[in-house]
Structure 1
Amino acid sequence: MTYILRILLLLQVLALVSTSAYADDVERLPKWELGAGLAAASFPDYPGSDQNRSLVLPYPSVIYRGSRIRAGRDGLRGMLFKGKRWDLDVSAGGSLSVNSEDNRAREGMNDLGISVEFGPSLRLKFIDEADQKLQLRFNLRALLVTDDFPVLDYEGWLFNPELRWRRHFGERYILGSSLELRYANRAYHDHFYGVASQFATVTRPEYRGQRGYSSVGVSSFVTMKLDQNWRTSVRLGYYDLHDVAFNDSPLFRKNSGAFFGLSISRVLWRSEATVGPARIDDITL
């Protein structure tokens, strides 16, 4: 286990055993908020790649806190059932494209298109308080890829159990961490790690993906509310790829990876209608 993983796991343990007390008052939140932000990030081209990318990008900040549809930092959610101890919803996420000309392992191959992961999520709520939340999620998502925009092609499925924790510290800070496991089918792994016969070379033999274990990862973040409109966030993560199902792929070059992200955003408009009460926003869970 690497030094980075040990640090992140230690943060996770310390967070879960924290017993600090907080005020009982909670705030209501606008039903929607619109704004803009700037994000900087560094991350591998794909899990198992030995090349990283660093990006600085502007982005729109859209938050919607409906009773059935919610949108926020973690993507889009459609609530199917909300109970005291468990929720069932449909959620979506995604990843950026990879230009194969910029990646040594994939040189001469087709690019990896922008991808969307979409599917149901069962969320068991162990702690569900205004200042602290702890959930065990069971996410099952289909991989949809935009090789020929706007057409989406199905490229397999991913099962992604995740333990996620959030806690509010004072009036300005939210600290969070998560521990997750990934398991995918043959088509999913083949999309990222498969080498078709027309792309095989002497140093890059033909390869077909196999179903099985994909990775284990841990991440932590801190979000700070600078004032009523300005927010900033820092995120750090690490994942381990030892003994994965695709470790024989010639595109698999590194058995670990890390990512870092920094963002700052400003709310420009918000609704007069409010929802709540809440302190930790459910849409970030």
Structure 2
Amino acid sequence: MRNMIRILLLSLLSIGVGADELERLPKWELGLGLAAVNLPDYPGADQSQSYVLPFPYVIYRGARLKAGREGLRGLLFESKRWDLDISAGGSLPVNSDDNRARQGMDDLKVSLELGPSLRLKFVDEANEKIQLRFNLRALLAADDFPALDYEGWLFNPELRWRRHYGDRYVLGSSLQVRYGSAEYHDYFYGVAPQFATATRPSYRANRGYQSVGVNGFMAIKIDHNWRLTANVGYYDLHNAAFDDSPLFKRNSGAYFGLSISRILWRSQATVGPSRIDDIVL
């Protein structure tokens, strides 16, 4: 009887250790992916482009620096209700020769958006997050790569929801408003005098309201190494500060994307359970 009790206790302890090991995650994961996306040339354009692009799959779960599905984040301050971090985004280039409204103008270059993000946490559970984010980002365009030129700023309040369903699925959505500086809007909608034509007068954009948008995504863990992500979004540009620009063609637009990726390498070092804001799938 004593031996049976000992075996039972050892079994329970081994189960507990196994569960804890399952909760721990590699500090970093590296892999490759392929994404298919359809995007308007720029918000308000009447033309869009489809891309099939390879990309590096990078996950990093540091104490202050994190990288995942939403890009790079640097955590500056954290409390029970508030976080302050540095967030980043970006956009793809546009060849002006492929866009009727911009023909003869300079191309829109690859750009980076970088700045602080203040987050108010309404729900901060292990499997669900609801946050109000106040993002302020500078637009940095690679006009002379690798140099980056400052092209204004964007203020982007965002209400965001995320939820895990088991260990294989994540669903999320967001509602956001965008307000930009005159320089930011002028980068996309301004027409310099040398690019003016009979049908495209010169134009200088103003600071003000840009758009309201909604977005949804789903991430699926197919197996230990394969990941699938789908996202779709819609934005409305009615009453935008630049709606009298000759480059402004549509009051609304949509975009969607699908990506698949495979993890190739993982670190031996592990960290505790990751926050839902990171990619844990």
Tell me the TM-score normalised to structure 1 length. 0.89
Q: How does 1:75-86 map to 2 (within 5 A)?
A: 75-86=71-82
Distance in structure 2 (CA, Å) of the matches to 1:279 and 1:28: 12
Equivalent in 236, 244, 250 of residue 246 of structure 2: 250
Work out whether residues 122 and 139 of structure 1, in 8 Å CA contact, stay in contact via their aligned partners in 2. yes
Equivalent in 42, 51, 56 of residue 52 of structure 2: 56
Q: How does 1:259-278 map to 2 (within 5 A)?
A: 259-278=255-274
- Which of these two proteins has the greater Rg computed from alpha carbons? 2
CA-to-aligned-CA distance 1:200-243 (integer Å, 9 cap, x gap): 01110110010000100001011110011111011010000000
**Residue matched to 1:67:** 63
Equivalent in 95, 101, 104 of residue 105 of structure 1: 101
Does residue 167 (structure 1) correspond to residue 163 (structure 2)? The answer is yes
Distance in structure 2 (CA, Å) of the matches to 1:150 and 1:65: 27
**Residue matched to 1:196:** 192
- Structure 2's unaligned 5+ residue stretches are 1-18
**Residue matched to 1:12:** none
**Residue matched to 1:45:** 41
| Paired amino acid for 2:190 | G
| Paired amino acid for 1:193 | Y
Work out whether residues 120 and 139 of structure 1, in 8 Å CA contact, stay in contact via their aligned partners in 2. yes
Does residue 179 (structure 1) correspond to residue 175 (structure 2)? The answer is yes
Distance in structure 2 (CA, Å) of the matches to 1:93 and 1:191: 17
Distance in structure 1 (CA, Å) of the matches to 2:220 and 2:275: 13
**Residue matched to 1:6:** none
Distance in structure 1 (CA, Å) of the matches to 2:201 and 2:166: 55
Work out whether residues 91 and 121 of structure 1, in 8 Å CA contact, stay in contact via their aligned partners in 2. yes
- Structure 1's unaligned 5+ residue stretches are 1-23
**After the TM superposition, which of the residue ranges 70-79 and 52-61 deviates more from structure 2?**
70-79
Cα shift at 1:279: 6.5
SS at match of 2:60: strand
| Paired amino acid for 1:177 | S
**Residue matched to 1:151:** 147
Distance in structure 1 (CA, Å) of the matches to 2:35 and 2:125: 30
Distance in structure 2 (CA, Å) of the matches to 1:70 and 1:175: 20
**Residue matched to 2:206:** 210
**Residue matched to 2:15:** none
**Percent identity over the alignment?**
72
- In structure 2, do the counterparts of structure 1 residues 283 and 83 end up closer, same or farther at CA, with 3 Å as the change threshold? farther
Work out whether residues 230 and 258 of structure 2, in 8 Å CA contact, stay in contact via their aligned partners in 1. yes
**Residue matched to 2:131:** 135
Work out whether residues 133 and 167 of structure 1, in 8 Å CA contact, stay in contact via their aligned partners in 2. yes
Equivalent in 228, 236, 252 of residue 232 of structure 1: 228
- In structure 2, do the counterparts of structure 1 residues 174 and 135 end up closer, same or farther at CA, with 3 Å as the change threshold? same
SS at match of 1:205: coil
Distance in structure 2 (CA, Å) of the matches to 1:132 and 1:199: 50
SS at match of 2:137: strand
**Residue matched to 1:280:** 276
Work out whether residues 129 and 163 of structure 2, in 8 Å CA contact, stay in contact via their aligned partners in 1. yes
Work out whether residues 214 and 233 of structure 2, in 8 Å CA contact, stay in contact via their aligned partners in 1. yes
Distance in structure 2 (CA, Å) of the matches to 1:224 and 1:146: 33
Distance in structure 2 (CA, Å) of the matches to 1:138 and 1:117: 14
